[in-house]
């Protein structure tokens, strides 16, 4: 049995998120194919996540013990490290993603839990796992000209690589805010792609 950590970073009312329309469809298809697996849904806006402050650094860089698993910051890093697969759903905001997702990543990026330092440098401790990043974007940021402005998926891929992951896929619904765009068709295509990925995830 595998455990999927489904990380959601959008504060829109239920049913209004185009990103979640795609990611929820993926989860439903995955559950249909893998009913034995566990899905842990982590809604970041419902968690007690804040920005790291100076007072938190002693814990972040301190010793990792059985007791530290219960710490309100470190518990997220342990949860992440113990999962087998990841689905991260976050819309594009200002060329990246909502700030709460970066705050969460700061909670997860803990030496001794998701990565470690060696004589050769940092080494990820989450190797061999899978991840899917799902996003909706108001415009097109995948062509040669605009791809340089897309910082969300690029950052997610970089940080997951840092943790040791190499099997990272993505689904993005683009142009959903353009005047005259067939948003329903765009989302339908993204949902179909997400369901296809679920077949082998």
Q: Do residues 9 and 89 make contact, with C-beta atoms less than 8 angstroms apart? A: yes
Name 108's Cβ contacts closer than 8 Å, sequence gap at least 6. Answer: 76, 77, 80, 114
- 83, 98, 94: which is closest to 160 by C-alpha? 83
Domain-by-domain residue ranges, the chain? 3-198
pTM: 0.96
pLDDT digits (tens, 9 = 90+) for 20-47: 999 999 999 999 999 999 999 999 999 9
pLDDT of residue 48: 85
Give SS3 for 171: strand
pLDDT over 90 percentage in the chain: 89
Cα–Cα distance list, 201 to 82, 83, 121 (Å): 17, 14, 30
Q: Do residues 42 and 23 make contact, with C-beta atoms less than 8 angstroms apart? A: no
pLDDT digits (tens, 9 = 90+) for 135-176: 999 999 988 788 899 999 999 999 999 999 999 999 999 999
Q: Is 3-198 CATH 3.40.50.2000?
A: no
């Amino acid at each position: 049995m595998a455990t999927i950590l489904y990380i959601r970073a959008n504060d829109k009312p239920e049913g209004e998120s185009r990103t979640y329309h795609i990611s929820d469809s993926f989860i439903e298809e995955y559950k249909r194919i893998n009913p034995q697996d566990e899905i842990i849904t982590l809604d970041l806006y419902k968690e007690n996540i804040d920005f790291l402050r100076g007072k938190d650094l002693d814990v972040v860089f301190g010793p990792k013990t059985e007791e530290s698993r219960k710490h309100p910051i470190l518990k997220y890093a342990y949860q992440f490290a113990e999962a087998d697969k990841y689905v991260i759903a976050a819309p594009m905001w200002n060329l990246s993603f909502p700030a709460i997702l970066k705050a969460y990543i700061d909670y997860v990026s803990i030496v001794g839990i998701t990565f470690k330092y060696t004589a050769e440098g940092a080494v990820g401790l989450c190797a061999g796992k899978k991840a899917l990043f799902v996003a909706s974007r108001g415009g097109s940021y995948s062509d040669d000209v605009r791809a340089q402005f897309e910082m969300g998926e690029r950052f997610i891929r970089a940080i997951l690589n840092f943790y040791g992951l190499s099997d990272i896929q993505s689904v993005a619904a683009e142009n959903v805010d353009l005047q005259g765009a067939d948003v329903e068709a765009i989302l339908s295509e993204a949902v179909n792609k997400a369901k296809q990925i679920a077949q082998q995830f």
